[in-house]
Amino acid sequence: MRYKNVEFRRPSVADSNGYTVSSDRSAEIVAWKKSSNNGKEFCCTLCWIKEDEEGFYIETIGNRFTEYEDIEALMHVAKYALRILDTEKEFKEGCYN
């Protein structure tokens, strides 16, 4: 799911540019930017979304997450990502009400 220049990417699901993250990687939130050389988009990972016994959590990379310029878009995507992963987990475990 992409909102503005921030995207939630999951393993084995194609992103907005058609790239599919390998199944051995964690879900992630990336920021898309345009190259000044050729105008093509490239992404930079802001954080990974991982799971432990308590649920999903965000593992940031340095200060990329906290210093990202469009915090509104980033929080919108982060909330969406955590909610969708929680919902999928509940559904798979049969806890969905």
Residue 71: its pLDDT value, please? 97
- Calculate the dihedral angle through the C-alpha atoms of 41, 44, 47, 49, rounding to the nearest 10 degrees: 50
Catalogue the E-assigned strands of 35-84.
Answer: 41-52, 55-60
- Residue 43: how many CA atoms within 13 Å on its side-chain side? 20
Q: Would you state the structure tokens that stand for residue 75, as one six-digit string?
A: 């929080």
pTM of the full predicted structure? 0.88
pLDDT tens per residue across all 97 residues of the chain:
999 999 999 988 888 888 888 888 899 999 999 999 998 999 999 999 999 988 999 999 999 999 999 999 999 999 999 999 999 888 888 865 5
Distance CA 89, CA 74 (A): 23
Domain residue ranges of the chain, discontinuous segments joined by +? 2-92
